[in-house]
Amino acid sequence: MLHVLDTTALFNAKDFPVDFEIIVPQGVLDELMAWGLNDRVRLLVGVRIFVEAPGKDSVEKVKQFAEKTGDIDRLSPTDIDVIALALEKSVPLISDDYSIGNTAKILGLKCIPMETRGIKKIYYWKYVCRGCGKEYDRDMGECIICGKELLPKRYKSEDI
């Protein structure tokens, strides 16, 4: 059974079922190296863990949807590749990351949390200045009017 895993899931995974095969973008392995790739994962690369790059079209589609929900600013390029790969292969992805799960759901992908419960709703985000209250669609870092920090805020949710 093929699954796409994000870095945290692969890092935290203790063991996989026998018929479990994993596909990841290169970025996941790079991040794992930086975190200290353990021997267990190293031995599985090329055997049960396969590295593949998602196509440009899937990456663009993921970005478009993530912009729509406002998750884009909380997704790393590797996170986007992870979702794009699951999209391209039509396989479930395993992640505990909220924004990955949210974006996966809106794309119609199955996202299985490792530890947390499943996401039941799709949330849309906006950013609100903690100083003057001005609202932004994107996380600009700080308010262009008063320079204060922007806080993410859910403004809409859908039951799915």
Residue whose CB is less far from Zn ion, 84 or 129: 129
Compose the 127-156 pattern: x for residues touching Zn ion by CB under 5 A, - for all others: --x-xx-x--------x-xx-x--------
Spell out the alpha helix ranges (H) of 3-157.
7-12, 26-35, 39-44, 56-69, 77-89, 98-106
In the bound complex, what is the minimum distance in angstroms from residue 151's beta carbon to Zn ion?
11
CA 88 from centroid of its chain's CA atoms: 15
In the bound complex, what is the minimum distance in angstroms from residue 133's beta carbon to Zn ion?
7
**What distance in Å separates the CA atoms of residue 159 and residue 133, rounded to the nearest whole number?**
28
The conformation of residue 111, written as its DSSP 8-state character, comes to E
In the bound complex, what is the minimum distance in angstroms from residue 66's beta carbon to Zn ion?
25
Binding of Zn ion at residue 10 (CB under 5 A)?
Answer: no
In the bound complex, what is the minimum distance in angstroms from residue 68's beta carbon to Zn ion?
24
**What distance in Å separates the CA atoms of residue 127 and residue 50, rounded to the nearest whole number?**
37
Biggest CA-to-CA distance, the chain: 56
Compose the 76-115 pattern: x for residues touching Zn ion by CB under 5 A, - for all others: ----------------------------------------
Binding site for Zn ion (CB under 5 A): 129, 131-132, 134, 143, 145-146, 148
